[in-house]
Structure formats: C-alpha cells, structure tokens
Amino acid sequence: MSAWRRLHVKVRRAHGLFTSRRVTEQYTWMYGPSTLGQNLSTGKPLRNDFFKELEAQLAAMRKKAADALPGSSWSPFDINPNLPPERADIVIIGGGVMGWSIAYWLKQKERVREGVKVIVVERDLTYSQASTVLSAGGIRQQFSLPENIHLSLASADFMRNINEHLGVLNEDPVDLQFNQSGYLFLASEEVAHIMEENYSTQRQVGAKVTLLSPTQLKEKFPWINTDGVALASYGLENEGWFDPWSLLNAFRRKAMSMGVIQCCGEVTDFKYTVSMMTSPGGDPVVYKRINSVKVQMPKGLEYQMVECAIVVNAAGAFSGKLAEMLGISSNPKDTIAGTPVPVEPRKRYIYVVHCPDGPGLDTPFLIDYSGMYFRREGLGGNYITGASPKEADEPDTSNLEVDHQFFEDSVWPRLAYRVPAFEKLKVTSAWAGFYDYNTFDQNGIIGDHPVINNMYFATGFSGHGLQQSPAAGRAVAELILDGNFKTLDMRGLGFRRIMAQEPILERNIL
C-alpha cells in the first residue's frame, strides 16, 4: 500500500514539474518570475486530474457496490477460499470411500434440493496414505455373520448398477474395472467344520458359494497344491476385485455434483456442551453434545469452527483417536462414557510379484488357512500377495515403510507351498497401508454413540470397509435422516455391543 502511495506522489511530482514549466512560460509576462505564481498555477491541472480520477474512482466504486450486492461472492475481508463454511448440518470426518458414500446417500435421500448441507473433511486430498486406495480392493460374501453378508451383497448390487447410482449427466460413465473372479478359501482339517457352517449361513442369506473337496479343487484349479486342504469354498458370483480409486472418485464426483462440500483440513478439536443425567440405577451419566468442529487448515495456523448438528466419524484407522478428543477414553473404564472406541491403525503390507508361470487368467482371490492371500493384477503375469501377521508381531504403525523381510519369512514360503509355480518369482514393488482394525471384534461399527448423542460412527471395518462402503453408507444415511435402518437391519453392528461387552466375532477359518 505504502509503495503504491509513494509511486502516486512521484507521478504527481513529475506531472507538476512538467506543467509548471509550461505555465511559467504563459504567466511570466503578468506576474514576473515568482514562486507564488508557480504554486498557484500547478493547482489547476491538479484539480483537472482529480476530476478525471474521480470518474475512474466512481466506476470502481460502482463495481464494488455491485459486487457487494447479495448473490455475489465478494466480501470486504480477505478470506481463504478453502475454508469450510461456518455452518453445516452434517460434518463427515474422513473423506475416504466410507465418508463419501455416506455423503452421497445423505444427498440421495434428501427430499428437496439443498435440503441438508453436508461437508466432508479430508486431511489429505492426494490420498497418499488413505486406507481406501492402498487396499487390495476385493469384495466377497464369504463371511459368517449375516450382517456382513447382507452388506456385501447389497454393495455388489450397487456396483452392478453403479452407473444408475453414480453416473453424472454429461460425464464419462463410471468404470470400476471389476474383475469377476471368486474368492477361494482353503480350510485345513481343524477348521473345516467352521467352513461348512459358514457355507450354510451364506447360502441361506443368498450368496452364491459352493464347497469343493480337495479332489474337485485339484480338478478345477490344477495348479494348486492341495496338501493340508480339507475343504475349500469358492464364490461363484458377486465376488472379485476392483479399482478402489475409481469407486472413491465416482462417489466423490457424484456427491459433489449433488452439492456436498469438500474441505481439505484436519479436525483437531470439538466444542461441546455437557449435561449430567442419572441412569435408572442412580449412577450419574455425562451426556455430551457437539456444537462445533474445529477444522485446521493444512498449511499455517488458520482454522474454522464449523457449527453443525451431526458429526459422522468415518476417519477409518484414526477414528479412535478422534473420539479421544471428546474425552471418551479418559473417563474411568467401567462407566458408559469410558467405553473407548476400539479402533486403531494396523499396518499391512502388499507385495506385487511378477511370475510368468503363474496361474494366469483363472486366478481366484485365494485365501489360505495360514493367512496368506494372493490375486492376479492385470494380465501381464503380475500378482499381488500378502499375509496377516500374528498378533504378537504387529508392525509399528508410525510410518508406511515396507518390511521386505516379512515377505521372505512369512509370505513367500506359504505362497510357494500352496502354488508351486510361485517358487520362481520377482518382487517388483510393494506398499503398506493402514487397516482400521477393530480390536474388540473385528467388525464394523455402524451407529450412534450412547453418550455423545450427535456423533455417528461408520468405522472399524477391519479390512472390509471398502467392499461394504456402498451399503454401510446407506445404512448410516438412513439412521441419520430416517431415524432407524430401513433397508438392512444393522442394529447388531451398533455401539451397544461394545458397551455390553458382547463381541460378535466373525468365525474365520484363518
């Protein structure tokens, strides 16, 4: 500003010099060479200047006034355009596939245009560390809990008709690059009976799964070593893998076209009111209600308090940490408010291996009873593989570095034992991703928190969040807008089971 003013003065001075010389020539014959005449004469052209400037200034003023009229985005203060709005109805924390799915379903279910104002807060818009895009991207129905099978079936149905749901007018249709190859679970002698029970549950719910004996398995997949396999189950339909990034982007594109606001920032604090109540037993219960969410901008100290009615915690691996900000786990353990959200990040490695002699196009998503899995990646003889480590040697979750020794020690031996063709392979690349691991019972938490009465959870899916996101998002949207579940009854996956300490465990064969 001051520099501009200096420039202005300089110009005026120069102007004055120029005019004064001309005027002195005119007036010297009247007044003689006097300093006074010089000063007076310089005033006149200056006044001319003023009127000339006035016109320009009036035009600028008119423009500014027009800008300040309602309906324009102008404001007298310098505002960071990336800041979220001050008020919203629903703030979704976590812009992964779950968060965007909830946002989409909320908008889909609203009765009038702009009926609910939804903000999705995401920390990293490049998604460089997001669980969504670093996952293996599989979908299966081979669970043991009916809730999980239902969620997965509904999600498969969503993906089948994805362009009806997520197609945006005048844009390219969504291509998930879905690979229709079933999951193949292999069970050993000890767990074969669990697999049989799971199979009957799955058939009952409506999943197309078949059981294979070792002989049938060998006939169907001749490249498998069936030693130690007592039973196998193979998904015929609605199973396979897809590109997680395409699904995330499709959700995001559709939700934003419907008016969801995306905001890059991190939620660092909540403002909440506390009220005391007594339970029927006479114990005091502290109720909390979130009034606003503090969204910190990624660079600098700028932040915005977003006033909101409902907060959805879809922060995946970090949702436990987010809930701690509300003081959930600082209370004594045995009270209701002291029940922590049992979700923590776990690190999993995925290795890309190249093996030209591998099983080729008929590779299923194979999951061995030892915890090893692999699937095909593309058509060029690449496979991706990994394994879940033992509970005792969980890797450190502070970074996303890959432990290549783990492949040598735990993955490759099992892989080569199951499929002898993989004895000759080359690891071409590897990455690590976070898993939103539910330490309580390894199943998703869908529903509201008992004592924070406007925070909803959609987290803790422990690795099957991506495949269940379309149906889980719909369930959360129903819970928020309709008050209860309409299409799929997900009450079993609510917070109540954690309070009552009744885990609903997936009866895995691993």
Give Cα separations from 113 to 65, 169, 258, 375 (angstroms).
30, 17, 8, 43
C-alpha span between 138 and 463 (Å, rounded): 10
| Residue 34 engages another protein in binding (rule: CB under 8 A) | no
| Residue 165 engages another protein in binding (rule: CB under 8 A) | no
C-alpha span between 229 and 509 (Å, rounded): 12
Q: Tell me which of 127, 143, 178, 373 binds another protein, using CB under 8 A.
A: 178
Q: Tell me which of 25, 55, 78, 164 binds another protein, using CB under 8 A.
A: 164
Quote the least distance from Cβ 169 to another protein, whole Å: 6
The site for another protein, by CB under 8 A, has a size of 22
| Residue 360 engages another protein in binding (rule: CB under 8 A) | yes
| Residue 112 engages another protein in binding (rule: CB under 8 A) | no
| Residue 203 engages another protein in binding (rule: CB under 8 A) | no
Q: Tell me which of 169, 274, 276, 392 binds another protein, using CB under 8 A.
A: 169
C-alpha span between 163 and 425 (Å, rounded): 38
Exposure pattern of 373-386 as b/e (b: 16+ CB <10 Å)? bbbbbeeebbbbbb
Stretch that binds another protein, among 174-182, 394-402, 415-423, 469-477 (CB under 8 A): 174-182
Q: Considering beta carbons, is residue 175 or 197 the nearer one to another protein? A: 175
Quote the least distance from Cβ 273 to another protein, whole Å: 39
HEC assignment per residue over 132-187:
CCCCCCEECCCCCCHHHHHHHHHHHHHHHCHHHHHCCCCCCCCCCCCECCCEEEEE
Quote the least distance from Cβ 78 to another protein, whole Å: 30
Q: Tell me which of 177, 330, 399, 428 binds another protein, using CB under 8 A.
A: 177
β-bridge pairing 183-187 and 231-235: antiparallel
Q: Considering beta carbons, is residue 152 or 238 the nearer one to another protein? A: 238
Q: Name residue 307's amino acid.
A: E
| Residue 181 engages another protein in binding (rule: CB under 8 A) | yes
Q: Considering beta carbons, is residue 159 or 328 the nearer one to another protein? A: 159
| Residue 237 engages another protein in binding (rule: CB under 8 A) | yes
β-bridge pairing 118-122 and 90-93: parallel
| Residue 240 engages another protein in binding (rule: CB under 8 A) | yes
| Residue 354 engages another protein in binding (rule: CB under 8 A) | no
| Residue 113 engages another protein in binding (rule: CB under 8 A) | yes
Q: Name residue 191's amino acid.
A: V
β-bridge pairing 343-354 and 138-139: unpaired
With H, G, I as helix, E, B as strand and everything else as coil, classify residue 351. Answer: strand
Stretch that binds another protein, among 162-170, 349-357, 427-435, 463-471 (CB under 8 A): 162-170
Q: Considering beta carbons, is residue 357 or 403 the nearer one to another protein? A: 357
Residue position matching structure tokens 């002898």 = 420
Q: Tell me which of 142, 144, 179, 462 binds another protein, using CB under 8 A.
A: 179
| Residue 361 engages another protein in binding (rule: CB under 8 A) | yes
Q: Considering beta carbons, is residue 181 or 459 the nearer one to another protein? A: 181
C-alpha span between 478 and 52 (Å, rounded): 64
Q: Tell me which of 73, 126, 170, 273 binds another protein, using CB under 8 A.
A: 170
Quote the least distance from Cβ 243 to another protein, whole Å: 10
Q: Tell me which of 144, 148, 155, 238 binds another protein, using CB under 8 A.
A: 238
Stretch that binds another protein, among 34-42, 358-366, 410-418, 501-509 (CB under 8 A): 358-366
| Residue 73 engages another protein in binding (rule: CB under 8 A) | no
Q: Tell me which of 15, 218, 220, 321 binds another protein, using CB under 8 A.
A: 220
Within 10 A of 346 (CB to CB), how many other CB atoms are there?
A: 20
C-alpha span between 488 and 474 (Å, rounded): 9
Q: Considering beta carbons, is residue 129 or 382 the nearer one to another protein? A: 382
| Residue 236 engages another protein in binding (rule: CB under 8 A) | yes
C-alpha span between 312 and 259 (Å, rounded): 18
Quote the least distance from Cβ 136 to another protein, whole Å: 15
Please enumerate in sequence order all residues whose Cβ is within 8 A of that of 209, keeping only pairs 6 or more positions apart, or say none: 141, 142, 199, 202, 203, 233, 234, 235, 236
Nearest to 194 by CA among 489, 446, 507: 507
C-alpha span between 304 and 290 (Å, rounded): 15
Give Cα separations from 68 to 56, 62, 74, 76, 77 (angstroms).
18, 10, 6, 8, 12
Q: Under a CB-based contact definition with an 8 Å cutoff, are residues 306 and 89 in contact?
A: no
Give Cα separations from 91 to 104, 121, 122, 260 (angstroms).
13, 7, 11, 10
Stretch that binds another protein, among 236-244, 259-267, 269-277, 502-510 (CB under 8 A): 236-244
C-alpha span between 178 and 157 (Å, rounded): 13
Q: Tell me which of 3, 9, 30, 379 binds another protein, using CB under 8 A.
A: 379
Binding mask 36-65 for another protein (x = CB under 8 A): ------------------------------
Q: Tell me which of 160, 193, 203, 496 binds another protein, using CB under 8 A.
A: 160
| Residue 208 engages another protein in binding (rule: CB under 8 A) | yes
State the residues that interact with another protein by CB under 8 A.
113, 160, 164, 169-170, 175, 177-181, 208, 220, 236-238, 240, 360-362, 379-380
